[in-house]
Amino acid sequence: MAFGINRKELYAWKSAVRSGEMAFLTHYWLDDRFPSSKTVTKAGCADLEKLIEWGKAYGLKPEWIDHKADYPHFDLFGKVEVEVLLNEGLIEQLNRFNLLQKHKG
């Protein structure tokens, strides 16, 4: 279950993904499979080759891509999520979800 984002943010992410841009959307998230993760960042791009190449820079494997409808993406958690947000300059998302404090070290 996703929460902590609004419809405008979701539509902007979907639009960017569909247009072949690398797009990032962080939101609160609860999933019993990942009890220690309270947020997820979706790193998406409809251009699969671009998404795969981008993922390689972070050690992400192509088989980890969620091929959800028109919005293929990686789901990022924990330290990888923080590393990606830092490297991509997405400081607002780090601050908004208090991720730097939660994943120090």
pLDDT at 3 over 90: no
**Owning domain of residue 42:** 2-102
Is the overall model pTM greater than 0.95, yes or no? no
- Residue 55 pLDDT grade (very low, low, confident, very high; cuts 50, 70, 90): very high
12 Cβ contact partners less than 8 Å away, ≥ 6 residues apart: 23
Higher pLDDT, 21 or 37: 21
Please tell me the total count of domains within the chain: 1
pLDDT at 100 over 80: yes
The one-letter amino acid code at 87 reads N
pLDDT at 63 over 90: yes
